[in-house]
Structure 1
């Protein structure tokens, strides 16, 4: 036992008082967390598209942020309210420009029922998001009475609605999860007191972790998904850790130990296993820092924070509470559930299956291969220029869908090829690069419907060269304005762009493939003195997806290496950590295969590119709970008796029901997040629920013990040796 646990057992009242004060301090900080979180995070700020966008902002003085105010009149000409809407928008702070269909005729539908205003802002994203409620309110109040529907959409509006929905989803999931936890824990413990302790500790863990999150948000940008991650991970680990220790404590009491000895034994055994299990969760989540993407960093911070808080409570607050409660842990018992030892004997029939490990393992290996097979069909893609991540009731989604239904969505989200070259070389290399780009786009006729560049303005070659060199006097006014929108200069370099309209929408597979084709072909086509960037919403999504794909080997390798070292130290064996890695890989692959089959094949939903990495990192850590708790009990028996087969069977009998109970708790938590209206959270909840069922029911109860039977006693790393924190040689002295 560590020093903090010993302190909790000696001074339980003091420890409980400290945690209560800490919880009271955490509440006001937790309430401020939503306002400190940032929306977005689903882009790569170091990607090619982001670099090209910064060039455009400098060269053409483009505003960094935009919103679209969508106007729809189902029965009349919507243009009658355009001036009024523009007048309502201009007084808003930070508005730099207001554009409408008179500047871009394509912004008005053919039936004149739908159009939109484009508002440009010179402000940071958070400032723009803070303006959205006021903008919606004033537009709706002024125009609804005239029969005009108003929607405010755009990147920051989507992010704002995502922020609001994320907060609501977390609250809804918790409202569903806590009653489910109460029911499951009552079934497990058959005692109101034993049920209340994990539930209360889980609530305190969430409050404290949210407060820590507010402090972290003051130092770095934290995504709005922080709250969802705290809830989905925190509820699972906090309740499970309490379950493991309380279950062992009650088992020792049922075996005749006094409550102090029982508690100390529970902390030395189950507590020791919980500590390593929690560290394994933290180790796996640390791998999410590798991509350096805000959404992954935020989820890693959330998971690590709430797991560390749960561990701290489990090592200090829980033993202090159990010390104060004593045998009152069985207060208000329900039904006749028998002792934990009696119920553990239900795992005995499984031992008959383990006696023939080879056929069992071959059959289950085939099963897992079939479950993982649909992963071959997976196509990962972050939603871009799309509101599909949000529920249909979200205002920004309704605005996007209205534009896509009534206008040509390809014109709303163009791809831009940004070209730059040194001024000292003159404009000729860059003009040749533009011609090369138009030739490449022209050869991609099935993917590109149109492209506009300075070479398409109808100017004679000499006039075009003179204009590119800075002499615009010879150009007509209309040509001068068009040329200025496509050609500029910044930081000693000429800058131009080719505006490309894809043949399909921005979220289509073909448009994503188009971005990659252009990036593959253009650098060699434009010449060595010309730099080229492909920019646009789809390009932003491709950059995000690609950095994830490149980071996956490092994420997998880091999580595996850290976990291997951690478990090797815990179990003093290299075979057990290796077995853990293989089993976890099987679970993640099978769960992602099933998720692909359900979401992509049956429901027609694209798997978000963030989902596999998150399922892997979260499940990789959480599944160690079962591995550690079961192996620890088996090892405890092996160290005491030296009989490998009996140790495996005894460990199974003692932990099978416990693992099933813990799995049921995790599934209840994860299933509650299916009520979320954000597709990423839904997919994560479904993927984790599938993984837990596969891990607990098939892997831990069938595959792992059968493999241990097959490997024999060498799996423990040598002859029996007393495990330092397991009381085998002598009984622990009660704390006085």
Structure 2
């Protein structure tokens, strides 16, 4: 298939490239509106109890569970004429909007609901709140909230207006993610181009992977926009899949272009060099892409749109990166021929410095060969020390606390963050974090609701409980006994109806904290007068966490099975896949431990510009695990296939195992280092985002890639393979026979004869970029 694709591209290269350009423009134009069709988080599913509770209120009590909060403040206080006039203007504007319901404010509640008015005014009297519910689907809510935010936010005549709440937070995050994507691409593309020039020397060769990367970005936008027509797609997929497409496209193009230049340097003509590059490096790229795609596909076992959008979009993006690499590159290389080496910037630099052409290096003379040889001479102590260091880095993961993100994921410049900070610090109860208790179908006595509300108000940390029977607060007893729930205001008739009733529980506790979790458990433990559903921020958090955690074993099991099967097909060994699985787990544990230390515990928060909330978004580590696992497998396939090639060409004794490992790492050293560096650049560009989960994603994956390309590949993997010696290659006879029939090898045949050894080594060196006769790339060999 790959040969047919290459021949097709070579036969009509201009047509292929023009078609690719048109497709790129179409996808880019179609995908330009992708952001406006995405959902803010994608963390929820309709089956969750908390979602059903919120839906019940939305259907039966419009405005009963506000998702938009407008904070109005002024130097003269909430009762100054300027603040009162601006608040009235905003209240009227929201009340006249057909997409907004349940508008209530501090100023309108002064005469009708004194109890509510007190909750809607800050402790210092400088800020007042207007609450409302923006109706519609998730996408409609966030788009309407964005419009309202643009209309209302600002400072006018000494009055400050800030829009927040859940809908306002999603609007701000969406807008920031879109801006951050442009910045990340503006950083990643030119920096990658410069690094590729350093790797290749030739400007022309360096621009080929960049071109394929730009195609992958445009294709990604089109894919995401297409998916929004059939499913909810998380806004976070915009940055992440774009970064993934760019990184993989550059990575894969690097392998193929390196191989093509190697074949040219060895005397092949253009057509033969392209065919050989696609059959070898292109074949490996296809199967490496398969590992990443299958790891991402495991995300589909989770019910949340966040994960499903990454599963489908990720697989499609990987396919686009692989397809562009094996189809567009042959067409471009056919037109370029040996001009791929044009504009070699190293030659004038050498002349300027008075240096001649560097002498070619043998694999045995490279840095990587010397390093790995030294490691294997002391394999046991090196393995123990390296493993202990990684476990120490991973130790913070044992104390990880997970939660769902809130407005604090974005910087203090955002209006929703300013509103959230004020609610947490300056108000008696955080109105954005209130719990709702729904009793669907309840038609019992009002006294039962009153007794239930009274009991709920006595739970520690509860500010007040609003119900149709009355407003209850836990007031101190005169004799020093524990606070007692007492009715402090009349009930609210609008909180009951023909289909049931609900209660609103104001809280002083952060919903995503450990204390918030305990409070929710205490609220659930209170005996209810009927079937009850809990909603609100704390319940949403708990339900979501339970839903995700219950699917982790299935996803992890699928990834493990995929890893073991694919590595067995590549190596013919049952030992090496298990070793690779353990090393990947060790590397990722260290990465996640470091991320807990930074993002949950707050170390480096000032330097990196984020706010630690004391918990970590559980969705990100799971997504990062699948991506990092896939990329680690990507490198593992390249490395082990090269080591196995050396092993098959040897006499297969203990000394040959050691030499095969050293040669395999040496021949892949330069290209892996370049690929890991380029991928880290793209990921770190994502980390420039002002949204904390994007920082976590970029920094965490960059660290995983770098550690895998250095500590794992250069130290732990060689040390363990030295200790296991010839046992590395063991497999039961039935499985060995199976591998002989269906194993994924670059060239057909069960083994390589001694007479073919030199040729086979020569044709594999493009992936390593270190062949002794490669004068084009010799200046960076062994670095």
Residue of structure 2 in register with 1:158 after alignment: 169
Match status 1:678 vs 2:700: no
Map residues 658-669 of structure 1 onto 2, 5 A cutoff: 658-669=671-682
* Offset at residue 607 of structure 1 (A): 2.0
Map residues 304-315 of structure 1 onto 2, 5 A cutoff: 304-315=315-326
Residue of structure 1 in register with 2:239 after alignment: 228
Q: Secondary structure at the match of 1:348?
A: helix
Contact 1:42 1:544 in 2 (8 A): yes
Contact 1:289 1:296 in 2 (8 A): yes
**175 and 212 in structure 1: CA distance in 2 versus 1, 3 angstrom threshold:** same
* Offset at residue 37 of structure 1 (A): 2.1
Alignment partner for residue 365 of structure 1, among 387, 396, 399? 387
Map residues 399-548 of structure 1 onto 2, 5 A cutoff: 399-420=419-440, 427=444, 435=451, 438-439=454-455, 442=458, 444-445=459-460, 447-453=461-467, 479=490, 482=491, 484-490=493-499, 495-519=500-524, 521-522=525-526, 525-526=527-528, 530-548=530-548
Map residues 89-238 of structure 1 onto 2, 5 A cutoff: 89-101=94-106, 102-103=108-109, 104-106=116-118, 107-132=120-145, 134-139=147-152, 144-238=155-249
Residue of structure 2 in register with 1:243 after alignment: 254
Q: Secondary structure at the match of 2:39?
A: coil
1:109 & 1:622 partners in 2: Cα distance?
Answer: 50
Residue of structure 1 in register with 2:564 after alignment: 564
Match status 1:294 vs 2:305: yes
Of stretches 721-730 and 650-659 in structure 1, the one that deviates more from structure 2 is 721-730
* Offset at residue 179 of structure 1 (A): 2.0
Deviations 1:457-481 (A, max 9, x none): 69xxxxxxxxxxxxxxxxxxx85xx
Contact 1:44 1:543 in 2 (8 A): no
Alignment partner for residue 637 of structure 2, among 621, 628, 634? 628
Alignment partner for residue 725 of structure 2, among 694, 712, 715? 712
Contact 1:177 1:672 in 2 (8 A): yes
1:59 & 1:254 partners in 2: Cα distance?
Answer: 74
* Offset at residue 412 of structure 1 (A): 4.6
Deviations 1:485-542 (A, max 9, x none): 444331xxxx3334333342334331123224444x35xx448xx3222211221122
Deviations 1:615-645 (A, max 9, x none): 1011011112211111121222333345433
Calculate the TM-score normalised by the size of structure 1. Answer: 0.87
1:714 & 1:13 partners in 2: Cα distance?
Answer: 51
Residue of structure 2 in register with 1:356 after alignment: 378
**693 and 181 in structure 1: CA distance in 2 versus 1, 3 angstrom threshold:** same
Match status 1:616 vs 2:625: yes
For this pair of structures, how many residues does the alignment match? 693
* Offset at residue 370 of structure 1 (A): 0.8
Q: Secondary structure at the match of 1:675?
A: coil
Contact 1:227 1:302 in 2 (8 A): no
Q: Secondary structure at the match of 2:409?
A: coil
Of stretches 156-165 and 69-78 in structure 1, the one that deviates more from structure 2 is 69-78
Instruction: Return 5+ residue gaps in structure 1 as ranges.
Output: 459-477
**51 and 278 in structure 1: CA distance in 2 versus 1, 3 angstrom threshold:** same
* Offset at residue 186 of structure 1 (A): 1.6
2:183 & 2:360 partners in 1: Cα distance?
Answer: 34
Q: Secondary structure at the match of 2:75?
A: coil
1:195 & 1:219 partners in 2: Cα distance?
Answer: 38
Residue of structure 2 in register with 1:581 after alignment: 581
Match status 1:27 vs 2:40: no
* Offset at residue 548 of structure 1 (A): 2.0
2:711 & 2:424 partners in 1: Cα distance?
Answer: 46
Residue of structure 1 in register with 2:608 after alignment: none
Contact 2:456 2:465 in 1 (8 A): no
2:492 & 2:517 partners in 1: Cα distance?
Answer: 29
Residue of structure 1 in register with 2:552 after alignment: 552
Contact 1:588 1:616 in 2 (8 A): yes
Q: Secondary structure at the match of 1:417?
A: strand
Contact 1:449 1:503 in 2 (8 A): yes
Deviations 1:633-691 (A, max 9, x none): 12223333454333222211110111111111111111112210010000111111111
Contact 1:453 1:486 in 2 (8 A): yes
2:362 & 2:577 partners in 1: Cα distance?
Answer: 31
The alignment's C-alpha RMSD in Å is 3.0
Contact 1:411 1:501 in 2 (8 A): yes
Calculate the TM-score normalised by the size of structure 2. Answer: 0.82
Deviations 1:262-290 (A, max 9, x none): 33333222222211111110111112122
Q: Secondary structure at the match of 1:418?
A: strand
Residue of structure 2 in register with 1:599 after alignment: 599
Q: Secondary structure at the match of 1:687?
A: helix
1:332 & 1:80 partners in 2: Cα distance?
Answer: 68
Deviations 1:48-81 (A, max 9, x none): 1111122333443446764222211123522243
Q: Secondary structure at the match of 1:567?
A: helix
**286 and 340 in structure 1: CA distance in 2 versus 1, 3 angstrom threshold:** farther
* Offset at residue 698 of structure 1 (A): 0.5
Contact 1:229 1:303 in 2 (8 A): no
2:188 & 2:518 partners in 1: Cα distance?
Answer: 41
1:407 & 1:441 partners in 2: Cα distance?
Answer: 18
Q: Secondary structure at the match of 1:150?
A: strand
1:279 & 1:14 partners in 2: Cα distance?
Answer: 28
Of stretches 19-28 and 615-624 in structure 1, the one that deviates more from structure 2 is 19-28
Residue of structure 1 in register with 2:649 after alignment: 640
Q: Secondary structure at the match of 1:668?
A: helix
1:105 & 1:684 partners in 2: Cα distance?
Answer: 42
Instruction: Return 5+ residue gaps in structure 2 as ranges.
Output: 110-115, 351-356, 473-488, 606-611, 764-783
1:414 & 1:280 partners in 2: Cα distance?
Answer: 44
Of stretches 287-296 and 407-416 in structure 1, the one that deviates more from structure 2 is 407-416
